[in-house]
Homo-oligomer: A and B are copies of this chain.
Amino acid sequence: MNYQQLLLDYQKHYQKTRALEYMLTLARYDALTIGPKKAVNDRSLIMGYWSIELFNHNNSAQYENLINNLEAVNYRLTPEMKRTIYLARRQINQIKKIDPQDYRQYSELLPQAQVAWENAKQTNDFSIYAPYLEKIIFYVKKFATANKTVEGHLYNTLLDQYEEGLTIAKLDDFFNVLSKRIIPLLRQIEKSSTHINDEFLNHKFPIDKQKNVALFILNKLDFDLSKGVFSESAHPFTSGISPNDIRLTTHYYERNLLSSIYSTAHEAGHGIYEQNINAEYHNTVLGTGASMAVHESQSRFYENIIGRSSIFTSMLLSYLNKEFNEQFIDVNEKNFYHCVNKVTPSLIRTDADELTYSLHIMIRYELEKMLIGDQLQVSELPDKWNELYKRYLNITPYNDQVGVLQDVHWSGGAFGYFPSYALGNAFCAQFVKTMEKDLIIADIIKSGNLIPIKNWLTNNIYVYGKLLPPFELLKKVTKESLNPNYFCQYLEEKFKDIYQL
Contact = CB atoms under 8 A, between A and B. Distances in A.
A35 B226 contact: no
A282 B241 CA distance: 29
A contacts with B: majority SS: helix
A55 to B, nearest CB: 14
Nearest to A23: B23
A469 interface: no
B27 A244 contact: no
Interface string A20-44: 0011001100100011111101110
B227 A39 contact: yes
Contact of A245 (B15, B39, B243): B39
A243 B39 CA distance: 7
Contact of A36 (B42, B245, B283): B245
A146 interface: no
The oligomer's copy count stands at 2
Which has the most chain B C-beta neighbours within 10 Å: A18, A41, A227, A244?
A244
A242 interface: yes
A241 B27 CA distance: 11
Interface residues of A, number: 33
Contact of A244 (B36, B226, B283): B36
A50 B35 contact: no
A46 interface: yes
Which has the most chain B C-beta neighbours within 10 Å: A30, A41, A226, A245?
A245
Given A43-B245, A241-B39, A245-B35, A26 B30 contact: yes
A200 interface: no
A231 interface: yes
A227 B36 contact: yes
A376 interface: no
Contact of A242 (B19, B39, B226, B245): B39
A37 B227 CA distance: 8
